[in-house]
Amino acid sequence: MPEPDEFVVTPYEVRGRIDYARLRELFGTQELTAELLAKLHHLTGGDLHPLLTRGIYYSHRDLAPILDGFANGKPFFLYSGRGPSGPLHTSHLVPFDLCQWLQRRLGVPMYIQITDDEKYWARSGLTREETASWGLENLYDILALGFDPKRTHVFFDSRSIAALYPLAIRVARKIPYSTVKAVFGFEPSTNIGLVFYTALQTVPCFWPSWAEGHSVPCLIPCGIDQDPHFRVTRDIAEGLGYPKPSLMHSQMVTGLLGDAAMSTSGDRPDNALFLNDPPETVDRKVRNAFTGGRATVEEQRRLGATPEVCSIWALWRTRFAESEDKFQEVTAGCRSGALLCGECKGQLLERVHKFYRYHNEARERVKSWAESTIVTAAPKPI
């Protein structure tokens, strides 16, 4: 008998040591190849984003047609989202960093969904007031990455429902219960909010086509854990007369305690660097973080360490190495044993603190226009 996979990746659970190549096979997605990256490079000009060159985005669905279409004058829009279950941590920025970069390079519209309803349904410990207020706090953090106020639109589920519902009605009719049960592993005790919810996550994929009255392709950068929602979307798209969304999938970012993802749903706040952590907390979490280091300094000098399993290396890789040279220097130093974990953490912390200072200022500035991005009305009656 084949070994069962030792990991689980669904929108509602990520655990185990993830074999990303195997996960791609299981999900049936395509590899983000060097050829595709070259195509993207050609279109965007300048340097490719580090999240692309460092392999964090590694999988996709139908990326080529959307890029070819754009090159031939057919614009697309970007879509990603956030379930507001608490403060954002640095790995939550991975989809939005790529979106912001693509928006700036290509001038395309961005749709952000804030699912305060989903998190209320999915997390029994949260009140409605909490998911709604985290939704707004999270939105400030996302917009602070540098989104263009004129081209960025937000579906804040509980406040945008009038805009979403006419399409949700049509989407929901196409999705049988047996599909969501199989895709998400729902149990008889699952509340019916979650059963309906996937319809709402689909709506933004079609919304611009509906609003403009002709097909507008959609590109979704997201963590690969969100792919199951969009398999459902892609299955029903054509039946509703809309284009199937394309996707770019990222790997999850290793948690500070060494978990497969920086998720804190198991009540492990030290597993992640939250954007609202004060500087002392950031210091403590980084200093205590799980690394790929050896038991003793002597051993590490002699044998080197293992970046691939290290939560600190994951931070350098996803955000904090400011250049390719710096990233290579850290990686090579780690592997050879020249760079010890304490020194590496110190260098990383300088960058983390700098980013937090910059981010907090940018976050204050977006507050004056964040509300104006929230879509509240449907573009037409049905």
> Nearest distance from residue 99's CB to ligand TRP, in Å?
10
By beta-carbon proximity to ligand TRP, the closer residue of 113 and 347 is 113
53 and 40 in contact (C-beta within 8 Å)?
no
Residues that bind ligand TRP (CB under 6 A): 11, 79-83, 113, 115, 118, 201, 220, 222, 226
Q: How far apart are CA 180 and CA 159, in angstroms?
A: 25
Q: How far is CA 205 from CA 110, 250, 262, in A?
A: 11, 19, 27
By beta-carbon proximity to ligand TRP, the closer residue of 117 and 277 is 117
By beta-carbon proximity to ligand TRP, the closer residue of 264 and 300 is 264
Q: How far apart are CA 195 and CA 182, in angstroms?
A: 11
By beta-carbon proximity to ligand TRP, the closer residue of 202 and 291 is 202
By beta-carbon proximity to ligand TRP, the closer residue of 226 and 300 is 226
> Nearest distance from residue 320's CB to ligand TRP, in Å?
23
> Nearest distance from residue 321's CB to ligand TRP, in Å?
25
Q: How far apart are CA 102 and CA 230, in angstroms?
A: 20
How large is the greatest C-alpha to C-alpha distance in the chain, in angstroms?
71
> Nearest distance from residue 169's CB to ligand TRP, in Å?
18
> Nearest distance from residue 119's CB to ligand TRP, in Å?
7
By beta-carbon proximity to ligand TRP, the closer residue of 219 and 330 is 219
Nearest to 220 by CA among 241, 243, 199: 243
Quickly list DSSP for 271-289. GS-BTT--HHHHHHHHHH-
Chain centroid to CA 262: 12
Q: How far apart are CA 127 and CA 86, in angstroms?
A: 11
> Nearest distance from residue 144's CB to ligand TRP, in Å?
18
> Nearest distance from residue 329's CB to ligand TRP, in Å?
33
By beta-carbon proximity to ligand TRP, the closer residue of 109 and 283 is 109
Q: Show the tokens assigned to 121.
A: 């349904």
Nearest to 102 by CA among 72, 68, 146: 146
> Nearest distance from residue 78's CB to ligand TRP, in Å?
10
Q: Show the tokens assigned to 115.
A: 């699912």
Nearest to 111 by CA among 241, 238, 216, 232: 216
The helix/strand/coil state of 31 is strand
By beta-carbon proximity to ligand TRP, the closer residue of 82 and 345 is 82
> Nearest distance from residue 115's CB to ligand TRP, in Å?
5
By beta-carbon proximity to ligand TRP, the closer residue of 259 and 313 is 259
345 and 289 in contact (C-beta within 8 Å)?
yes
> Nearest distance from residue 351's CB to ligand TRP, in Å?
26
What are residue 189's phi and psi, to 5 degrees?
A: -85, -5
Residues 6+ apart with CB under 8 A from 295: none
By beta-carbon proximity to ligand TRP, the closer residue of 323 and 376 is 376
Residue type, 168: A
Q: How far apart are CA 367 and CA 361, in angstroms?
A: 11
Q: How far apart are CA 322 and CA 206, in angstroms?
A: 36
